[in-house]
A and B are shown apart, each in its own frame.
Chain A
Amino acid sequence: MKSDKAVILIVDDQPSNVFVLEHLLSSKDRVLLQSSNGKDALKIALDKEVDLIILDVQMPGMDGFEVAQILKSNRRTKDIPIIFATAVSKEHKFVMKGYEEGGVDYLYKPLDPEIVKAKVAVLLKIQLQKKELIEKNLALQKNELLINNSSDIIGIIDAANFKIEEINNAFTSILGYSKQEAKETAITFFLSNNDRVLVQQLREQRKDKLFFETRIYCKDRTIKWLQWNVIVKYGKWFVNARDVTEIKEVEKIRNHLATVVHQSNDAIYLHDEEGKIISWNEGAERMYGYSEQEALHMKIWNIIPDYIHPESGEMIMSVTTGNKIQDIETKRVNRHGKLLDVLFSASLITDSLYGHKSIAITERDITEKKRAEEQLRESEKKFRKLFENAPYPMWAYDLTSLKFLEVNETAVKTYGYTKQEFLAMHITDIRPEEEVAKLLEDVKERKKDVESSYGWKHRLRNGNLIYVEITSHLLNYNGHEAVLVVSKDITERKLAEEQIKNLNAELQTNIVQLETTNKELESFSYSVSHDLRAPLRALSGYSKMIEEDYASVLDNEAKRLLGNIQTNAQRMGTLIDDLLAFSRLGRKEVQKTEVNMLKMVSSILNEISLDHKANITVKELPQAYADPALIYQVWINLISNAIKYSAKNDKPEIEIGSKMLDEEIVFYVRDNGAGFDMKYVDKLFGVFQRLHNPNEFEGTGIGLAIVQRIITKHGGRVWATAIPNSGASFYFSLTEQHKQFKHE
């Protein structure tokens, strides 16, 4: 509608009729247009928006019906109501034709003013209402289009039960449910439990407007995020819900990323073009010792050592112009003034909204790593020095190609090859052929880190072979799996070993020979005991027989001489017995056990108590660990010696006892008898060695020899001290016995 005024077109060829009608219908809310023929009328109806046409039926040229027919055939004009005014055609057929042409009413001439007024008023009203309806309908259609075309969900929900009353297409396109499925279903049905509670709580707040987010189940059971905008009115929720799932996802990822950044061990921070720090992560807190709070009031110059401020400034400039910096090693300083080695990366971030520039920094603390590298270099240097100056030949060879990789000076000197020659050779080249197979096998099986082997042979440049002891270990040499070898020339040792081996073999032969000799000796002593004694018995026996059978014819001198023969034969017998006893000792195994020395000595003294007149004192005697039979022999010999050699004293005194001497228990037998001259002490313990004349003291000189042999066999020692005619002391120790007592 161009104006609020109703437009009425009056078509009549009679100006008087027009005049009358204008007069009748004129009103301030109407515009009256007039036309005197059908042609003009059609023109006006097409040009102007006409609300009502009063059309004279009888007109020259095109009559009223013709005009109406044309009007009805045009889309723009077909809805315009027409009132036919006629004077003539009052017949029924005309009236019907009028209605057929789409006219609405008839006025009959002469016109009744009141009827005309009333009819026009009613028709106009209807027409205006109709127009209004059409317009409203159009508006509604537009709205529906807008609503359904919206990518947001738009709808009306009953606040009382959350039932969906109206909903647009977006509900289907976003969530997958059809409108039928949505309508009359409570929106809460689609929500998760938590969100159901949320919207119920929101309803209770009784606000006019609500703004919230929920998750919602789609028909395919996926979950989407909706952002709700609700106006509450008439007990209804007029809702607009936007799918923010993607935004949420992005937000989630952004949150994750932020956490990752925040927790990173690297220092990650932002600063603006002036160097003011605008973000500061935990890694930075740890690395520099400044909290986020502190850092946000700092500029980067606080953590850059003074001496590199200029170059750092240039670097920032460069980044500001869009250059990226990746992993540059530089220095930083922490809160405590400690210099750090860092790996520095920087790039520019430009705010898309306002164009603010900030610089994103990542710094990794490599101080420790640098130090470790430095140490490694240092130790490599030391190792190299050690390698070069080692007194032993050393080299490294490639475990795969077996080529020499490195060789030291001593190796060059020892083996005679120059370094160049070595480096052109393989490890197999210095091995004698027969060892190469074993070497290759060893290399193949090589697993242990460190290995030592012994007795390999290496060939020198001059062709000589040397024996070596090898210590080798696996190492990575400039990316090669290699073996580091220390070689030690042990040729001399090896030769010495060979010698020892030979000597051992010789010794073995000697032992066998000795055993044979021993056996021979044994059978010798056996036959001595039989064969030598028989003639002695004959000598003694027959001289006795002469003495008995020819007693009457023998004078005293003859009898004395015969007596001497018998005495000497007897003496010879004793010597043979002693000799055999002594040689038996040599073969006897010592079988040690606990020996109660006091008991043993007491029993010996009991046995011989009647055969002497000596006063024998026994002092304390500890337990001993010895062969009882042999020790018994020692005591017998020492005690009977003491008795024998003190027998000529008026008051023979003998003392038997023990004492500690240098942590060693020593047993002794002391007498006050004949003693001996200490200059002959060396002969004292020899076999058949005597320091006294047989006329003075009888004996064969075997007793002390036996004592010495027994004590030596026990691992102890025996010795004597004496003063001629004042007495002698005999001492012996038993090492094992001493040990035994130390244990207790």
Chain B
Amino acid sequence: MNKRFDILLVEDNPSDAELTIRALKKINIMNSLLHLQDGEEALEYIFCTGKYSARNIEEIPKLILLDLKMPKVDGLEVLQKIKSDERTKIIPVVLLTSSKEDKDIIDGYKLGVNSYIVKPVEFQGFIKAVSDLGLYWLLLNQPPQ
């Protein structure tokens, strides 16, 4: 429980989660990834409530990959909570979405999302998109300390 994770993957679809994890593994930045099943659990983890109440809130992840469409609390709502809290708003958040609907993307940017990625159906494309993203945020982009 006290382990610190670099990447937080919030994804309700197990297949998508597995494919994402596999894509990241392929480029060897998979050692510290936590997969959470839905938005509610993500909020509990990030803000150290519920079963994550023992966690130190200051141990923030380096990147949050957030699926847009989830049961209970959806991605945009999680994003809004993260970006409106001083302690968490510096965390880079990337929205994962299967939709190209302009509205979702615009709403995401309004709430302060750092990037978004449309999950391609084609596996190679998906791997490439996810790994490019992971590399960029984990290796190139230096979050403010």
Contact = CB atoms under 8 A, between A and B. Distances in A.
Interface of A: 526, 529-530, 533-538, 540-545, 566, 569-570, 572-573, 577, 580
Query: Number of contact residues on B: which range applies?
Result: 20 to 34
B52 interface: no
Given A530-B99, A533-B98, A577-B100, A542 B15 contact: yes
Contact of B100 (A529, A537, A541): A529
B124 interface: yes
Contacts of A570: 121-122
Contact of A541 (B19, B98, B99): B19
A544 B123 contact: yes
A64 B123 CA distance: 202
A533 B15 CA distance: 12
A537 B99 contact: no
Given A537-B123, A541-B123, A570-B122, A526 B15 contact: no
17 contacts: A529-B99, A533-B119, A534-B13, A534-B15, A537-B15, A537-B98, A537-B120, A538-B16, A540-B123, A540-B126, A541-B18, A541-B123, A542-B15, A544-B124, A566-B122, A570-B122, A573-B122
B86 interface: no
Given A537-B15, A566-B122, A573-B120, 14 more contacts: A533-B119, A535-B15, A537-B19, A537-B98, A537-B119, A538-B13, A538-B16, A540-B121, A540-B122, A540-B126, A541-B19, A541-B22, A544-B123, A570-B122
B101 interface: yes
A738 B18 CA distance: 56
Contacts of B122: 540, 566, 569-570, 573
Closest 3 CB pairs of A and B: A573-B121, A538-B15, A544-B123
Nearest to A570: B122
Contacts of A529: 98-101
A534 B123 contact: no
A541 B68 CA distance: 20
A569 B121 contact: yes
Contacts of B97: 530
A365 B122 CA distance: 111
A572 B121 contact: yes
B107 to A, nearest CB: 13
Given A541-B15, A541-B19, A545-B22, A536 B121 contact: yes
Nearest to B103: A526
Summarize B's interface: helix, strand, loop or mixed.
loop
Nearest to B123: A544
Given A570-B121, A573-B121, A534 B100 contact: no
Interface of B: 13, 15-16, 18-19, 22, 68-69, 97-101, 119-124, 126
Contacts of B119: 533, 537
Nearest to B121: A573
B25 to A, nearest CB: 12
A534 B16 contact: yes
Nearest to A544: B123
Given A530-B99, A545-B22, A537 B69 contact: no
Contacts of A569: 121-122
Nearest to A577: B100
A543 B69 CA distance: 25
A526 B121 contact: no
Contacts of B101: 526, 529
A445 B63 CA distance: 83
Contact of B16 (A537, A577, A580): A537
A536 B126 CA distance: 12
B98 to A, nearest CB: 4
A559 to B, nearest CB: 15
A534 B101 CA distance: 16
A528 B122 CA distance: 17
A740 B22 CA distance: 57
B98 A580 contact: no
A505 B100 CA distance: 38
Contacts of B18: 541
Residue with the greatest number of chain B CB neighbours at <10 A, chosen from A533, A569, A572: A533
A537 B22 contact: no
A616 to B, nearest CB: 29
A408 to B, nearest CB: 69
B66 to A, nearest CB: 14
B96 to A, nearest CB: 11
B128 to A, nearest CB: 12
Nearest to A572: B121
B19 A526 contact: no
A541 B122 CA distance: 7
B16 A566 contact: no
A369 B121 CA distance: 101
A538 B120 CA distance: 11
Contacts of A545: 22, 123
A581 to B, nearest CB: 8
A530 B22 contact: no
A188 to B, nearest CB: 117
Contacts of B120: 537, 573
Nearest to A535: B15
B126 to A, nearest CB: 6
B19 A538 contact: yes
B126 A541 contact: yes
A111 to B, nearest CB: 182
Nearest to B102: A584
A566 B119 CA distance: 15
Nearest to A543: B123
